[in-house]
Amino acid sequence: MKTTSLVACHECDLLHQQMDVPIGGVARCARCGSSLYRPKRDSLNRTFALTVSGIIFYVIANIYPFLGFRIGSQIRETTLATGIYELYLQQMSIIATLVFLTVIMVPAVNLLCLLYILIPLKAKRVPPHLAKVFRLYLLLKPWGMMEIFMLGILVAAIKLVKMATIIPGVALFAFMALIFVLAATSVTLDRHLIWDQIKWQ
């Protein structure tokens, strides 16, 4: 027998019965008028395409040179991994660990979680342990601080421009694209669609 889904308002906690809302529409709280949920158009396919793009950008950002520095006739290139390693060598192990977790580890886990969730759902199957994987994705998503790292890189580059010539690497542009792709996945992913699959599982 089909059960009725309940949705709690994020503002006033009033419970509502979840009803079908047309694409482009929005369900609002009967008490405070806040948005409860908004169906996303073609959520699975759009989020899957963005996830695959994000994985490609992630690989490029971690393999190819991130920045190059030219001092005289010498050119020194650095990658994300070597930058974190340099922080560790300079006795900044805590900062190096934070950068590794928030810039490399968390985005990778988030992309893999999305891939694990979306591939079976596109094939009309529910992956095992869907609830745990989706909760892990939601838990880690706020800890991906790539845009803050990018801002720090830009500030450092402005200060270093008087000492050396800054040469942007392929990984820098891939990193910037990855920031926008991850933000787009948050917009296109219909969370209620995933929770409905968890409910039936």
Tally the C-alpha atoms within 13 A of residue 26's C-alpha that lie toward its C-beta.
Answer: 7
One of 1.20.120, 1.10.3470, 2.60.40, 1.20.140 is the CATH number of 40-200, namely 1.20.140
9-23, 80-94, 105-119: range with highest mean pLDDT:
105-119
Per-residue model confidence as pLDDT tens digits over 114-172: 999 999 999 888 889 898 999 999 999 988 889 888 888 888 878 877 777 888 889 99
pLDDT at 201 over 60: no
pLDDT at 179 over 50: yes
Read off the pLDDT band of 2 (50, 70, 90).
very low
Specify whether the CB–CB gap between 186 and 96 falls below 8 A: no
pLDDT average, residue stretch 100-126: 93
Tell me the Ramachandran region of residue 50: left when phi exceeds 0, alpha when psi lies from -120 to 50, beta otherwise: alpha
- Across the strands, what pairs with 7? 16
Tokens coding 93: 């192990």
9-18, 38-47, 119-128: range with highest mean pLDDT:
119-128
Tokens coding 179: 């920031």
Q: What are phi and psi of 15, to 5 degrees?
A: -85, 140
Cα Rg for the chain, rounded, in angstroms?
21
Percent of the chain at pLDDT > 70 equals 90
What is the per-residue pLDDT for 13?
66
- Across the strands, what pairs with 17? 6
Where, residue-wise, is CATH 1.20.140 in the chain? 40-200
Percent of the chain at pLDDT > 90 equals 37
What is the per-residue pLDDT for 1?
39
Q: What does the alpha-carbon distance between residue 2 and residue 116 come to, in Å, rounded to a whole number?
A: 27
pLDDT average, residue stretch 10-18: 71
- How many angstroms separate the Cα of 102 from the Cα of each of 3, 148, 185, 192? 39, 10, 18, 26
